[in-house]
Amino acid sequence: MFVTDMKVNLLGTTLDNPIIPASGTFGFGYEFASWYDINILGSISCKGTTLEARYGNPLPRIAECPAGLINAIGLQNPGVEKVISEELVKLKEVYKKPVIANVGGHSTDEYVKTVSAFNDVDNVFAVELNISCPNVKGGGMAFGTDYKTASELVKKIKEKATKPIIVKLSPNVTDVTEIALAVQDAGADAVSLINTLVGMRFNLRTGKPIISVGKGGYSGPGVYPVALRMVYEVSKALNIPVIGMGGISKSEDVIEMMTAGATAVMVGSANLINPFACKEIIDRLPYVMEKYRINKLEDIIGRAH
């Protein structure tokens, strides 16, 4: 009998498997508990949280694309106080494993305060900094496209944070490795990549953008080869864990992304197409591992190097 071990260690936490629904594509997690037992997931990266409540961008803020979609949600959330007192409490009732909080902001001070709010939340084992969101004005990607700005932000956060910090990197840069090295040197405990590419769609009748704010973040299978290349380059340059994402939709993608250097993977747009996407990937992963004679997933991390 072929024995498979899907466990991975991420920042000192053992995950039953490397599958993590990506922030912004899985709500706060408990919404999916009526579909299947979400405790099969390795972890969950919760919906992006800001210091104060945000409505997000005006509608429409989703546009379909070949091999993916564009979104410009704009970090809609009820604010960190309610996320901790309400959303994470609801999640804890149906999900017994530690999760990742995802934080966005408009200023260094806002990031620091929001991250610090999670210091004493027992079901959060790490905080993911969204410094790469392309559809938030006055923040988001502005922090993630300049290595000096990103570095200073991470340094300030690390002074106050007690949880490991994961920095989510933007692909909308000349050299993603430069940004990755800068945040590693500033004290980041891990990086996750890639966030969305910047894209547009137009209404052929009106000649105007479909998305209300014009541009948005393009994600889905179309970005997968780009994500693989960037994960490969960054994981080769860094000595901290890399979480890979970008167009992952099947078990084979997980194997390939880990081969490129990812310790764990995040599944995003696939959840919006099929609410069972993560479950199906996890269910099929042992069979794919057997097909390729992989006993232990941790053994293949970065084997392309």
Give, in order, the Cα–Cα distances in Å from 183 to each of 18, 74, 99, 175, 178: 23, 24, 22, 13, 9
Selecting among 46, 65, 133, 278, the annotated active-site residue is 133
Phi and psi (nearest 5°) for 30?
-65, -20
* Cα–Cα distance, 173 to 175 (Å, whole number): 6
Q: Is 65 a catalytic residue?
A: no
Q: How far is CA 266 from the centre of its chain?
A: 6
Residues known to be catalytic: 133
